[in-house]
């Protein structure tokens, strides 16, 4: 697939299932979540960062880091 996927609240619940599904299909997945333990449990090459999405500066930093790391974004899922 090769998509670059960004998911807010992507380390647990439905967000985690979405992230795992994209990763299983070959996507590069970049998630944020406020649950540090859930981020630490991510597998399958899913990149995660602890971010409170109500903090605009932190959310922007997460987005910019992902864009720099992956070279762009093909899919954005605002799960938060």
Q: What is the 3-state secondary structure (H, E, C) of 53-67?
A: CCCHHHHHHHHHHHH
Q: Of 58, 59, 15, 57, which Cα lies nearest the Cα of 39?
A: 15
CA-wise closest residue to 44 among 73, 19, 76, 80: 19
The DSSP symbol for 9 reads T
Question: Which pLDDT value is given to residue 44?
Answer: 87
Q: According to the model, what pLDDT value does residue 1 have?
A: 64
Per-residue pLDDT of the chain (80 residues; tens, 9 = 90+): 699 999 999 999 999 999 999 999 999 999 999 999 999 999 988 999 999 999 999 999 999 999 999 999 999 999 99
This prediction's pTM:
0.95
Residue 8's nearest CA partner among 59, 43, 46, 44 is 59
Residue 11, pLDDT score: 97
């Amino acid at each position: 697939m090769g998509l670059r996927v960004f998911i807010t609240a992507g380390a647990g619940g439905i967000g985690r299932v979405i992230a795992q599904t994209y990763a299983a299909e070959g996507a590069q997945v970049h998630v944020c979540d406020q649950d540090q333990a859930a981020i630490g449990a991510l597998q399958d090459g899913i990149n995660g960062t602890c971010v409170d999405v109500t903090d605009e500066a932190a959310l922007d930093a997460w987005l910019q880091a992902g864009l720099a790391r992956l070279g762009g974004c093909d899919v954005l899922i605002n799960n938060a």
